[in-house]
Copies of this chain bind each other. A is one copy, B any other.
Amino acid sequence: MSDGIRIIEVGPRDGLQNEKAPIPTPMKLTFIQDLLNAGILEIEATSFVSPKWVPQLGDAVDLWPSLPRGGTYSALIPNQKGLDRAVSVGVDRIAVFTATSDSFTKNNINMTVEESLNAFSEVIGSFRTVYPTGWVRGYVSTAFECPYEGRVDPRRTVAIAQRLEALGVDEVSIGDTIGVAGPIEVKNLTRLMEDAVPIEKIAYHFHDTHGTAIANVAQALELGIKSFDSSAGGLGGCPYAPGAGGNLATEDLVYFLQRSGIPTPIDLYQLARASLEILKTLGREPLAKSQLAALAASETSPM
């Protein structure tokens, strides 16, 4: 991507996992093809979590071999069992998920942070015996604040990121899971982080719960961060209420980059159409601001 800015589309995994309605596999494949057509090339496609826990992504083993050509895909791996299923269908890019606080990881993955790091050490080791150069991403959730424990000391976040790096991950995705951080916190954390983890290994994963996501991206970009997670149409629902922002919408991220003079190969209108289709399937209204604007603009101009 131009200027080296990478967008990691997490809608098909992080987005759909948080939607109540399960979606048939062919519709997911159409969605992913639509994303590719819009120029979105790097996609976290699914999770190999137990279908019992997350039925929405229970079709991972069927989905993966059918993914359309042309994309760079990864999958979330919760444990060794998930890795076995993933490797059985050829998954060579994986992501593992921890957080800064035990109460959050206990609630989400039923392990303490320490237990999760130990588990992932084995998962990553096992993965690398199959794919010695396979790509691994580590998520650090609740990087700024935990819904159970409140504000997080940025040194704690840096320490977890370092632990993941020591496990050999290629990238650390730093998540503002509940969407509360502002740019000052992003500045503080990034500066601490860059002394501990090479900056090119850091990605940010912002939520737009309070409308600060783009301000946070702008701040991170200024400090040299080049990788950002986002979700088409803001998929991933709303931690609070209908209409409240969850994941940063890819449309808003793309709009911001393009308006900032950072060219991307992404067609905002095609992206907005792709999001519209999957939101329709989910019975949800479009809410991402730039998605609405792109769709509305298309109604008034010949496209």
Residue positions of A touching B, CB distance < 8 A: 180-185, 208-215, 217-219, 238, 240-245, 249, 252, 255-256, 259-261, 285-290, 292-293, 295-297
What are 7 A-to-B residue pairs whose CB atoms are below 8 Å? A184-B260, A211-B288, A212-B252, A215-B217, A238-B292, A241-B292, A243-B285
Complex interface: chain B residues within 8 A of A238 (CB):
292
Residue of B nearest to A286 (CB): B243
Q: Which residue of B lies closest to A258 (CB)?
A: B182
Known A-B contacts A183-B218, A215-B218; the reply to A240 vs B210 at CB < 8 A is no
A-B interface, 3 closest residue pairs, ranked by CB to CB distance from nearest? A240-B296, A211-B252, A215-B215
**Contacting pair A259 B292 (CB below 8 A):** no
Contacts A218-B219, A243-B287 given: A256-B212 contact, CB under 8 Å? yes
User: In whole angstroms, how far apart are the Cα atoms of A293 and B219 in the complex?
Assistant: 23
CA distance A252 to B255 in the complex (A): 20
Measured CA separation A75–B231 after assembly (Å): 42
CB distance from A251 to the nearest CB of B (A): 8
Q: How many copies does the complex hold?
A: 2
With known contacts A210-B289, A289-B208, A182–B243 Cβ distance under 8 A = no
Contacts of A214 in B (CB 8 A): 211-212, 214-215
Known contacts: A182-B256, A184-B260. The answer to whether A290 contacts B218 by CB under 8 A is: no
Question: Contacts A219-B218, A260-B183: A244 and B289 contacting too (C-beta < 8 A)?
Answer: yes
Chain B residues in 8 Å Cβ range of A255: 210-212
CB distance from A256 to the nearest CB of B (A): 6
State the CA gap A297–B210 with chains docked (Å): 12
- Determine which of B181, B209, B218, B261 lies in contact with A293 in the assembled complex, contact meaning CB atoms within 8 Å: B209
Question: B241 near A210 (CB under 8 angstroms)?
Answer: no
For residue A252, which residues in chain B have a CB less than 8 angstroms away from its CB? Answer: 210-212
Instruction: Assess A296 versus B241: contact at CB under 8 Å? Given A184-B260, A256-B210, A260-B183.
Output: yes
Least CB distance, A104 to chain B, in whole angstroms: 16
User: Would you call A210 and B245 a contact (CB within 8 A)?
Assistant: no
Q: Evaluate contact between B211 and A249: CB separation under 8 angstroms.
A: yes
Instruction: Give the residues in chain B near A259, CB-CB below 8 Å.
Output: 180-182, 184-185, 210, 212
Enumerate chain B residues within 8 angstroms of A245, measured Cβ to Cβ.
289
C-alpha spacing A182/B254, complex, angstroms: 12
Q: How near does chain B come to A55, taking the closest CB pair, in angstroms? A: 26
Give A147's nearest chain B residue, CB to CB: B300
A39 to chain B minimum Cβ distance, whole angstroms, is 18
Give the residue name and chain of the B residue nearest to A259 (CB): B182
